[in-house]
Amino acid sequence: MKRAYLFPGQGSQFPGMGKDLYDRYDEAKKLFGLADEILGFPLTEVMFYGTEEELRRTKITQPAIFVHSVIAAKVLGDDFRPDMLAGHSLGEFSALTAGGALSFEDGLQLVLKRALAMQRATEMTDSAMAAVLGMDDETVERVLQHVPGVVVPANYNSPGQLVISGETEAVKIAAEKLKEAGARRVVMLNVGGAFHSPLMEPARKDLADAIAKTPFTAPVAPVYQNVTALPETDPEKIKQNLIAQLTSPVKWTQSIRNMIKDGATEFYEVGPGNVLLGLLRKIDRTVKGIKVG
């Protein structure tokens, strides 16, 4: 029996997130205070008392989810015993920090740099993302090959749920073609831009420099990285995959299937929300999903 720990990405935030941890654990109080200090602005104020709209700003969202997730893992203490780890997009930074590959301070600084770099990149091009529901991955990929402009698979979330990303016009044309080809629904997403697409290249360059200068060590358990869906412990390879992640698709379905193939029977979602447990049920109903934090 092996335990896998999963860390959520953008979209799992909610008003009041982390307040229960802050009120209950001294270690959480200390780390929330440290987060405000590192960032130079009162993140915890927005997390605990901010509106949904305030929490949706990329500069806030990504650090908030990271801080909540890592603190939730830390307060588990000796109960945090991963045999394997994975994080969805931003959650990969949480997984690496909870798994000891990055310090809390370095992880948070990288997440802030990532958020700001992605924000800048989204302002350069009119871009969008859409969720394609009720269609197999191969058909989506085939349809996208015949759409003019930049539009690519971005998140392989679960069977029958693939998110596409690219130039707004190309995404809209793709949405029509996918519906004609048999997709049950194509839903435009309320996000800032085309994450996990070639349009994030300026952000990738910004983040590559910061990651190169940050010390990484081997994590306590293999991290199944988004870019390859394979387990990794080598710090240099982890860095390369993290840099590539911004312009590459998140292979979440493939990661979960590989973890199950490698013996995972219990999956713990650590951090705000339960999006990943929902995806887990769609990928494989036979494994156990447990919510933490």
Q: What percent of the chain has pLDDT over 70?
A: 100
Amino acid 238: pLDDT: 98
Is the pLDDT confidence value at 293 over 80? Answer: no
Higher pLDDT, 263 or 292: 263
CATH superfamily of 2-122+198-292: Malonyl-Coenzyme A Acyl Carrier Protein, domain 2 (3.40.366.10)
Q: Of the residues 12, 69, 89, 165, which is catalytic?
A: 89
Q: Of the residues 127, 196, 248, 255, which is catalytic?
A: 196
Q: Cite the beta strand spans of 143-250 per DSSP E.
A: 151-158, 161-167, 185-188, 223-224, 231-232
Is the pLDDT confidence value at 146 over 90? Answer: yes
Q: Is 255 a residue of the active site?
A: no
Amino acid 227: pLDDT: 98
Whether the Cβ atoms of residue 186 and residue 135 lie closer than 8 Å to each other: no
- The span from the CA of 161 to the CA of 131, in Å, is 7
- The span from the CA of 48 to the CA of 50, in Å, is 6
Q: What is the pLDDT confidence band of residue 192, given thresholds at 50, 70 and 90?
A: confident
Per-residue pLDDT reduced to its tens digit, 246-285: 999 999 999 999 999 999 999 999 999 999 999 999 999 9
How far is Cα of residue 78 from the mean position of the Cα atoms in its chain? Answer: 25
Q: Is 196 a residue of the active site?
A: yes
Domain boundaries, the chain: 2-122+198-292, 127-188
Amino acid 20: pLDDT: 96
Q: What is the pLDDT confidence band of residue 44, given thresholds at 50, 70 and 90?
A: very high
Amino acid 11: pLDDT: 87
Amino acid 191: pLDDT: 81
Q: Cite the beta strand spans of 59-184 per DSSP E.
A: 84-87, 127-133, 151-158, 161-167
Q: What percent of the chain has pLDDT over 90?
A: 95
* Helix, strand, or coil (residue 270): strand
Q: What is the pLDDT confidence band of residue 56, given thresholds at 50, 70 and 90?
A: confident
> Was domain 127-188 assigned CATH 3.40.50.720?
no
Amino acid 57: pLDDT: 85
Is the pLDDT confidence value at 118 over 90? Answer: yes
Residue 261, both tokens: 């193939």
Amino acid 135: pLDDT: 97
Amino acid 218: pLDDT: 98
Is the pLDDT confidence value at 134 over 80? Answer: yes
Q: What is the pLDDT confidence band of residue 91, given thresholds at 50, 70 and 90?
A: very high
Q: What is the mean pLDDT of the chain?
A: 96
Amino acid 86: pLDDT: 98
